[in-house]
Each structure stands twice: as C-alpha cells, then as structure tokens.
Amino acid sequence: MKVAIYCRLSEEDKNKQFETDDSNSIQNQKSMLLQYAMEQGWELYNIYSDDDYAGADRRRPEFNRLLKDAEQHRFDIVLCKTQSRFTRELELVEKYIHGLFPLWGIRFISIVDNADTANKGNKKSRQINGLVNEWYLEDMSDNIRSVLTNRRKNGFHIGAFALYGYKKDPNQKGHLIIDEEAAAVVREVFTLFSQGYGKTAIARMLNDRGVPNPTEYKRLHGLRYQQPKMKNSTLWKYFSISDMLTNEIYIGNMVQGKYGSVSYKTKQNKPRPKSEWYIVEGTHDPIIDRELWDRVQVLVAQRAKPFNVGTVGLFARKARCANCGYIMRSSKTASQCGGKYYLKCSNRHIAKDSCIGSFIAVDKLERIVIEELNRLSAEYLDKDELEQNIEFCDNLQGQKSRLLSDITVYKKKVDEYSKGIRELYMDKVKGLISESDFADMSKGFVTERDRLERVIADEEKQLAELEEKIAAGDNRRELIEKYTNLDHLTREMVEMLIDYISIGKRIPGTRDVPIEIHWNF
C-alpha cells in the first residue's frame, strides 16, 4: 500500500527560525506520520507540506497537488495528524473524504482523532469533527473581524500595504508617515488637475518623465506591494490618477473598509457602500492641503473635461443661461469659418417656448471677464502695498533643475525611438521585413518621437523664460503688473475667481450680450 503524507502548519504554532525552514510543527507532524506509516508496513509515495496556510484556504499549493495525484490514484492512503490538518471545512470533508476519495479508491486516515474511512462505524465521528472545525473557523473569523473593526474605528491602519505617498511608521503600529519622494508626485498630480489637465494627460506626463507608478515605486524601494494583474504595470493609468484624486487619506483622514469579504470561507471581496466605510479624521499628516483638495473635488464632481486654455473648456460648467439656468455647452464652428468656439444653451432645442437660447463666443466672454478683472484691480488694489507683502518666488533655480532633468529624459526617449526606427529600416533593407511591415511597425515610433520633440520644444521655451527671470532678479513689481493687468485667462484663474457667469441673449440691433459675473470674492 502506498501512502501520501499531508502536513499543514497550525496557525497557533508559527515558530520558524528562518523563512526557508519548515516550522517545528511541520517537522513534528512528519516524524509522527512517518513512524506510523513504517509501523503499518506502508510504502511512502510522497510528503505534501503546506507551511503558513490556514485550514480554510482552498488555494494551498501542496493540498491541491495531493488532490490531483489522488484523482490519478498514484497512492492508496492519505495520512494526516488530524482531520483538521487536511481541512477545517465540513463541505470539503463531505466532498473529498466521504465522496471522491472512496470513488478514487483512496483511504483517509488521521491518527490523533482516529478518523479512518475504512472503518464505516466512525463516519459520524468524522462528520462531527468536521462540524466542530467549521464552528471553530466561524468563531475565529468573527473574533478577528471584531478586533479589526475596533482598530478601524479608532483610526489605526490595518492594511498590508501603505497607500502610495505614505509608509508604515516603524515606531508606531497602525500609524502612517509621509514618504516625501512619492508625496511630491501626489502633490504634482493634484496641482496639475486643479490647473485643468485631464487624468489621461497627467498619466502621460508622468510616464514621459519615467516616473514609476505606485506599484513599481514600491517594488524599486523594497516596500510591500500587491502583485499587479496586468502587463505594463510600471505605467501610470487613468484610473490610478482618478483613484488618487478622491482618496481622503491624502488629507489626513484614515479611510478603510471599502471592501468586505463575502464569507470567511473565501478570499473574495466585494465593494461596500460608503455609509459602511470606517472614516476617522486627522489620524496622520496630510499630503494635500484642504484648499487644494476642495478645489479638486469640485472639478471631479463636475466631471469637467480637460481644458484647452482660452478655448473650449475655459468656462466649463461656469456659464449659465440667464433665462433657464441651464449649464451652457461649448461647440465649435467649421474650420473654414475660423474654427471658433462658442457657448450656447442647448436647452432651447428641447424647450423653445421657455428658453431664450443664450449664445456667446468664448473669446468674447474671456475679454469681458478680463476687462472687469482689470477694472476691479485698478479700483481696489494698492499695488505698492501688494509689492511689499507678496512672497517672491525664490525657487527659480529649483524649477530650472527640474526642467533640465525632464528635457534630458525626453531627449533620451527620442534617441531610443530614433534608434528603433533605424533598426527597423535596416531590417527592411536586408529583406527581413516587408515594406508594409516597416510602415506599420515604425508608425508608433515616429508618432511618439514627434510628440516628445514638441514637448521638448515647449519645455525649452519655458526654460528660456525662466532663465530670463533669473537674470532679471527680484521681479515682484513685474509679477504684480502681470497679474493685475491680464491679457488672457487660465482655467485655474476661472476656477479660483468665478462662481458662475449668467449670460443673456444678444440685445437686438447691437452686438452686446448681457453678462453678470458672480465672483468668489
């Protein structure tokens, strides 16, 4: 008779000295079972050993290997210390010990609790053992859940992984501290979004600079991280940015319990409603200040599209029809007419009798807002006093260093794309690939190289402007004049300064459109 020995580490007996060693519990099980098999005169087929696995874990690698070998009848007996070492689930007791093992011609024996499928008289005993083990699992799950819930309610971090931007405090269990290198990227993401950049655009900017995404960052720094499920896991994605922008942990609040287990029998989790989350305020230092956070949440809630400064999106969700209060939408005329952008009340098409159909060009509205801002600044601002109190930006050299670093990274990528194109061309010349294959394969390289060259040109322009500022020295008066004598608007200005703009219908016989600006100040 061939016997297969199965051992499993008990969770109450984890006393390994080294990660690569079996625990003493596993060693004791092996010694006991080998001695028993020798006394019975059985031939040992194999020893299957799962270390650091719970009895309810169906993903145990050696457990599943044992089941596959049993199905192929590579041995005659499964030998364990106790029935609970094999499984603590009554369902699996019935499925394998009382169901499939007899069909496969496999005898199950556990020494301590005298379970033996060759003895029909102790089947009820095996079932009772299975029921007791099931109760044990349920009670243990309830106890663990109770402890974890209490720690969550008290604001302790209990996750296996710290959120990107933070790391676990080595001196205080359950407390998070800021990881400054990653936190700088988090601040940049929030700032860029508040300035009107879309989530995909932000992800592309980070990827262009070679900034590792959260998973790759943790891997490179030797931090614990969750294994990615998809390829290209080193790249930033839209959803990475989207999740970051709404995570309250970045303002110092501990948010846990977003997902809950379906059952203690499975590792599967499902989303929980926000009303069941555990949110405790002020548990750790914030990375994002409240003002920036609130500004970003407004933009997220509005689901405003990415902005092209001065054109479409500049007044996204800020312009309202004076008659019906409907949010005005942007549209563009045909390119042969100049391709101008307009804001119009689309409600007129579904309620012609109740809406006047407000309509205005985006550039005209921008001029009106700038004129009013300049009038207000001339009337109310004391520029001399402002000059004395404004904080001069003394970090120009730091900005220059970052730009130079980015340009270096971009140029390196351009060289890589150019090299790839040359290599493909040589393959075509040698006849290794066809003309059509060359065109298809090189298209992506050419597109990305051209795009990066445009990015480099734009950054070099910014660098030249920055060097002029450095050469000019303290330019506080110039900054004040620039801000108080605007010639164009940015989305950030609109978001900061304007609550909403009420727009009426053009006055007959004129080109004037009634405008009412509701400021945030």
pLDDT digits (tens, 9 = 90+) for 56-98: 778 889 999 999 999 999 999 999 988 888 888 878 888 898 8
Give the per-residue SS3 of 325-336. Answer: CCECEEEECCHH
pTM value surpassing 0.85: no
pLDDT of residue 390: 46
Residue written as token pair 């030797």: 222
pLDDT of residue 338: 55
Alpha-carbon distance of 351 to 358, in angstroms, equals 13
CA-wise closest residue to 303 among 327, 280, 325: 327
Contact 366, 516 (CB under 8 A): no
**Alpha carbon distances (Å) from 357 to 41, 316, 472, 511, 513:** 95, 18, 50, 15, 12
Q: Using the predicted structure, report yes or no on whether residue 260 has a pLDDT greater than 70.
A: no
Q: Say which residues have a Cβ less than 8 Å from residue 186's Cβ, sequence separation at least 6.
A: 164, 165, 244, 250, 287, 288
Phi, psi values for residue 2, rounded to 5°: -95, 135
Alpha-carbon distance of 116 to 79, in angstroms, equals 9
Return the percentage of the chain with pLDDT > 90, whole number. Answer: 18
The sign of the dihedral angle between the CA atoms of 164, 165, 169, 172 is negative
pLDDT in tens, 17-40: 444 455 557 788 888 899 889 989
Mean pLDDT score, 192-211: 86
Mean pLDDT score, 442-470: 81
Alpha-carbon distance of 162 to 173, in angstroms, equals 12
CA-wise closest residue to 81 among 134, 26, 133: 26
Alpha-carbon distance of 427 to 438, in angstroms, equals 8
Contact 358, 328 (CB under 8 A): yes
Q: Using the predicted structure, report yes or no on whether residue 172 has a pLDDT greater than 70.
A: yes
Q: Please say whether the structural domain 2-150 has been given the CATH code 3.40.50.960.
A: no
Distance of CA 188 to the CA centre of its chain: 15
Residue written as token pair 């970045």: 250
Residue written as token pair 């298809």: 440
Cα atoms found within 13 Å of the Cα of residue 436, Cβ hemisphere only:
0
Mean pLDDT, rounded, of the chain = 78
Residue written as token pair 């891997």: 219
Q: Say which residues have a Cβ less than 8 Å from residue 66's Cβ, sequence separation at least 6.
A: 4, 6, 48, 78
Rg for the chain (alpha carbons), in Å? 34
pLDDT of residue 34: 92
pLDDT of residue 189: 93
pLDDT of residue 265: 55
Q: Using the predicted structure, report yes or no on whether residue 392 has a pLDDT greater than 50.
A: no
Domain 166-302 architecture: Alpha-Beta Complex (3.90)
pLDDT of residue 343: 85
pLDDT of residue 121: 63
Please, which residues bridge with residue 48 across strands? Answer: 6
Give the per-residue SS3 of 54-96. Answer: CCCCCCCHHHHHHHHHHHCCCCCEEEECCHHHHCCCHHHHHHH
**Mean pLDDT: which of 21-25, 200-204, 313-317 is highest?**
200-204
pLDDT in tens, 118-147: 887 666 666 666 566 666 556 655 665 666
pLDDT of residue 180: 93
For the purposes of burial, counting CB atoms within 10 Å of the CB of 290, is it exposed (0-12), middle (13-18) or buried (19 or more)? exposed
CA-wise closest residue to 15 among 49, 56, 52, 47: 52
Q: Using the predicted structure, report yes or no on whether residue 515 has a pLDDT greater than 80.
A: yes
Q: Using the predicted structure, report yes or no on whether residue 353 has a pLDDT greater than 60.
A: no
Q: Using the predicted structure, report yes or no on whether residue 232 has a pLDDT greater than 70.
A: no
**Alpha carbon distances (Å) from 282 to 155, 156, 182, 203:** 9, 11, 20, 29
pLDDT of residue 251: 92
CA-wise closest residue to 344 among 359, 356, 332, 334: 359
Mean pLDDT score, 352-356: 56
CA-wise closest residue to 65 among 80, 84, 46: 46
For the purposes of burial, counting CB atoms within 10 Å of the CB of 296, is it exposed (0-12), middle (13-18) or buried (19 or more)? buried
pLDDT of residue 286: 94
The sign of the dihedral angle between the CA atoms of 191, 297, 494, 518 is negative
Alpha-carbon distance of 321 to 255, in angstroms, equals 39
Alpha-carbon distance of 348 to 503, in angstroms, equals 14
pLDDT of residue 277: 84
Please, which residues bridge with residue 293 across strands? Answer: none
The sign of the dihedral angle between the CA atoms of 384, 390, 395, 396 is negative
Alpha-carbon distance of 128 to 375, in angstroms, equals 87
